[in-house]
Structure 1
Amino acid sequence: MMILQISSLSVVTTENHMEKNDTETTNFILLGFFPEFRYITAIVYITLLIYMAAFTGNTLLILLIWLDSRLHTPMYFFLSQLSLMDLTLTSSIVPKMVANFFSGWRSISFLACGTQIFFSLTVAIAECILITLMCFDRYVAVCNPLRYPVIISPRVCLHMIVISWAGGAFTSFAHTAFTLHFHICSPREIPHFFCEVMAVLGIVCEDILAYEKAVVVTSILVLLLPLSLILSSYVLILLSLLQMNSPEVRNKALATCSSHLCVVSLYFGPGMCIYMRPGSAKTPRLNQGLFLFGTVLTPLLNPLAYSLRNKEVLSALKKLVGKCQSSR
């Protein structure tokens, strides 16, 4: 009887050990950012503070646009969606990164890794599409203001948002599926602070030359094509502004367009450096720095670019603060 019990116990132990090994072989190890840097703890604390500020700023901007009827226009509707995308992007990366650092647990499951890749790519691509459509909105507002309510109707705005999210999700799903179907080399260590396509491709044991070409083609479609459309539109906008007789209208249009151009540079600059640079998968330190900028600083600077120079947003903020003080 004792022999049977010992035998059954050893079988259970062996099965549990095999299950644990199977789980470990499907997990990834996130090495984190700048592992050789001496002051990495300070960087993590600063990143956490910036994330909290970005989360607060974008949430406040969405709340202002939702509560103030004066901000119920297409431009602010697009801006609220951009803030929502920023919140989704930074919240899908930074909390996990900070938790891994303080807990010392660097392992991430196959499903969680795929989820990170999918959401980060979805939001990044959707932002590029949305920023391009926001440029079209500014072009119509400046160059064809009389037909603006007809061309940029609420239904058209909704279609633009759906196109942005759907285009990002569809493209992201394809790249996530292709990236994770490759055979990964042991010990499955990703030289990054989150699961990112180029970093995962860097530890693949197969020939991925054809897929890398597909990534370049996607980058051209997602980055260069929209950027060329944006720059062409702003050339036409600038020509229209030069013909305006009213300095007040011209200055207001220039302020809005300059804010949008600032956001364009924040989003497209790091993306082009990461995905359109030869051998980008082999330079993890530079990629980590660019991703740290894009996923932490850009969501913070985006609401600042539109709010600090926008009298309508500042007026809505003062109105909200006044209501909060009077309610006390």
Structure 2
Amino acid sequence: MNHGGDLSEAIAHYGGAPQDWLDLSTGINPRPWPVPASLFADALHRLPAQADQEALILSAAEAYNAPKEAAIVPAPGTQALIQWLPHLAPPGGVAILGPTYSEHAQSWQRAGRTVFPIADMKALPREVRHVIVVNPNNPDGRIFESARFKQIADEMRSRGGWLIVDESFADIDPAIGCAALCTDLPIVVLRSFGKFFGLPGLRLGFLIAEPRIAASFEAALGPWAVSAPALTIGAAALKDRAWAVAARASLDMMAQRLDAILQMAGFRLVGGLPLFRLVQHADARALHKKLARKYIWCRRFDESPDRLRFGLPRDDKDLARLKEALVSP
């Protein structure tokens, strides 16, 4: 499954301008953290400073419950880290628990690595040296039992490899994260900033791992990998715990309201998270086209033609627009 958020395909097929569209193709918080104008303007006029990066790392460590023995590497988005993984990991094949975000498999395949798609973690092929788990999973919202991560990491250590846990959507529940295990185990945790905080254009993500692993990524990314605005805004947002608590409650409420509308339209809820809903319908393809003709864009899946994924509407107006589009001819 690829990423959403690019209306180019929708506009090419159905017309309109970007401002005409209701884009529900992403899993990004439609109510972003309110960036103070002064914070952004100041950071635009200077190079990133070491002090800025250290402040961001401290905020991330507190927000993600990372132990002091672990190292945190800021990056220009989680996607940049995904691209580096197969080039910096020890040699060997990778098992990917799926179906899930397709960029993981594609990046390892482009690097010449053997990819083993797996549906469960009960028996890993002998050729596997690394394992990738997206937790919570995209697009079905599956949450993997954190107690199993230590066992899998122990097995990967015996094989000389890594357990990679992509926690891009874990901000919806602080209990999901497994950064606390990143001490002496070969666990590599990826965290996305932009999704939960609604600021994907800032391009900010994090890698959390034991120091030797983290150092290889820091060297690969090089100096000034993260912009000054991303460093300063990220540090401030991650420290805003009151906003995070309120955002989680708001997302839960909007997700429930979205569920009611989708179920009223005949969809069956089959998965999802507070940031997106995965639904099933026998006429999903036709409904996707119907919505697109009304300039509403959601996610379809070539491998699962009866499923669609909806991101959250921003407000009552957008929710009403979706409802009207679904019930009207």
Normalising by structure 1, we get a TM-score of 0.23
Structure label with greater radius of gyration: 1
Normalising by structure 2, we get a TM-score of 0.23
Bigger fraction of residues in helix: 1
Bigger fraction of residues in strand: 2
